[in-house]
Chain A
Amino acid sequence: MKKLLVVLVFLSIGSIYAGGYRVALQGQRMLGMGHAGLSVFSNTETAFFNPAGLSFLDKNFSISFGVSGIMSNVKYQNAQYNQTAGTNDPMGTPFYLYASYRTSDQVTLGLAVYTPFGNSLEWDKDWAGSSIVNSISMKVFYIQPSMAYKFSKHFSVGASLIMAYGSVDYNKNINRYLTDESGNRTDATVNSGTVSAAGYSFSMAYKPSDKLSMGLNYRSSVVLDAKYGKAEFNDVPSFLAGKLKTAAISAKLPMPAELGVGLSFKPLKKMLVALDYNYTYWSIYQELKIEFKNGLPPSVSEKNFHNTSTFRIGAEYVVNDKINVRAGYYYDQSPSTEGYFSPETPSLNSNNYTFGIGYQMKKLAVDFSFLYVDGIERTDYTYVRGEGPSAYRFGGTYVSNAIIPGIGLTYSFDK
Chain B
Amino acid sequence: MKKILLLILIVLVGINFTACKPEFASPISDGDYTSGNADFSKYVAVGNSLTAGYTNGTLYKSGQSNSFPSMLAERMQLAGGGAFTQPYLDDDTKDIGGMVLAGNPILTPKFIINASSGGPEPINDVPTMDVTNIHPGPYNNMGVPGAKVFHLAAAGYGNVANLALGAANPYYVRMASAPNTPVIQDAAGQNPTFFTLWIGNNDVLSFATSGGVGVNQTGNMDPSTYGPNDITDPTVFGAVYSQLLDAMTANGAKGVVATIPDVSSIPFFTTIPYAPIPMTDQNTVDALNAAYLQYNQGLQLALANGLITAAEASKRTITFALGANALVIEDEYLTDLSGLGLPSIRQTNADDLVPLTAKAIIGTPDPNNPQLINGVTKPLEDQWVLVKEEINMVRTAATAYNATITQLAAAKDLPVADMAATMQQMSQGLATEDGSIYTADYFNGDNLDNLVFGLDGVHPTPRGYAIIANKFIEIINKEYKSNLPLVVPATYPTFDILSSN
Contact = CB atoms under 8 A, between A and B. Distances in A.
Q: Do A and B come from one complex?
A: yes
Interface of A: 71, 73-75, 77, 79-82, 84, 86, 128, 175-177, 179, 237-239, 241, 322-323, 325, 355, 357, 359, 368, 370, 372, 375, 377, 383, 387-394, 397, 399-401, 403, 405
A139 to B, nearest CB: 23
B27 interface: yes
B311 interface: no
A73 B78 contact: no
Contact of A389 (B21, B433, B437, B498): B437
Given A389-B450, A394-B434, 13 more contacts: A71-B18, A77-B24, A82-B78, A84-B28, A176-B491, A177-B490, A177-B493, A372-B17, A377-B25, A388-B439, A401-B21, A403-B14, A405-B14
A175 B494 CA distance: 14
Contacts of B24: 75, 77, 377, 397, 399
Nearest to B497: A239
Contact of B27 (A71, A77, A177, A400): A77
A399 B115 CA distance: 44
B339 interface: no
Contact of B32 (A79, A383, A388): A79
Interface of A is mostly: strand
B33 interface: yes
A375 B28 contact: no
Nearest to A381: B434
A386 to B, nearest CB: 9
15 contacts: A71-B18, A79-B28, A81-B487, A82-B28, A86-B21, A177-B494, A357-B7, A370-B14, A375-B22, A377-B24, A390-B435, A392-B490, A399-B23, A401-B20, A405-B10
Contacts of A405: 10-11, 14
Contacts of A370: 10, 13-14
B68 to A, nearest CB: 16
B33 A82 contact: yes
A383 B435 contact: yes
B6 interface: yes
A353 B25 CA distance: 20
Given A82-B33, A177-B491, A405-B14, A239 B498 contact: yes
Given A75-B22, A81-B487, A387 B436 contact: yes
Contact of B449 (A175, A241, A377, A394): A175
Contacts, number: 111
B485 interface: yes
Nearest to B74: A82
Contacts of B2: 323
A92 to B, nearest CB: 14
Contacts of B333: none
B434 A393 contact: yes
B450 A403 contact: no
Contacts of B23: 75, 399
Contacts of B450: 387-390
Contacts of B115: 239
Nearest to A179: B493
Nearest to B490: A176
Given A359-B3, A392-B434, A73 B488 contact: no
Top 10 nearest A-B pairs by Cβ distance? A390-B437, A82-B485, A388-B450, A401-B22, A176-B490, A239-B115, A403-B17, A392-B436, A399-B22, A239-B499
A118 to B, nearest CB: 19
B501 to A, nearest CB: 11
Contacts of B28: 77, 79, 82, 84
Interface in B110-137: 115
Nearest to B11: A405
A131 to B, nearest CB: 9
Contacts of A357: 6-7, 10
A397 B26 CA distance: 10
Contacts of A322: 3
A73 B25 contact: no
Contacts of B494: 177
Contacts of A389: 437, 447, 450
A74 B24 CA distance: 11
Contacts of B22: 73-75, 375, 399-401
Given A390-B435, A405-B14, A241 B499 contact: yes
B101 interface: no
Contacts of A77: 24, 27-28
Given A323-B3, A357-B6, A403-B14, A388 B25 contact: no
A79 B25 CA distance: 13
A331 B491 CA distance: 38
B435 A392 contact: yes
Interface in B1-57: 2-3, 6-7, 10-11, 13-14, 17-18, 20-25, 27-28, 32-33
Nearest to A241: B499
A122 to B, nearest CB: 15
Contacts of A391: 435
A167 B408 CA distance: 66
Interface string B188-227: 0000000000000000000000000000000000000000
B161 interface: no
Contacts of B239: none
B15 to A, nearest CB: 9
B307 interface: no
A410 to B, nearest CB: 16
A359 B25 CA distance: 40
B431 interface: yes
A81 B3 contact: no
Contacts of A355: 10, 13
A81 B488 contact: yes
Nearest to A178: B449
A189 B266 CA distance: 39
A405 B433 CA distance: 43
B478 to A, nearest CB: 15
A176 B488 contact: yes
Contacts of A176: 488, 490-491
Nearest to A348: B22
A388 B437 contact: yes
Nearest to A176: B490
A392 to B, nearest CB: 4
A345 B13 CA distance: 28
A84 B24 CA distance: 11
A266 B493 CA distance: 66
Residue of B10, B78, B450 contacting most chain A CB atoms (<10 Å) = B10
B488 to A, nearest CB: 6
A404 B47 CA distance: 58
B315 to A, nearest CB: 40
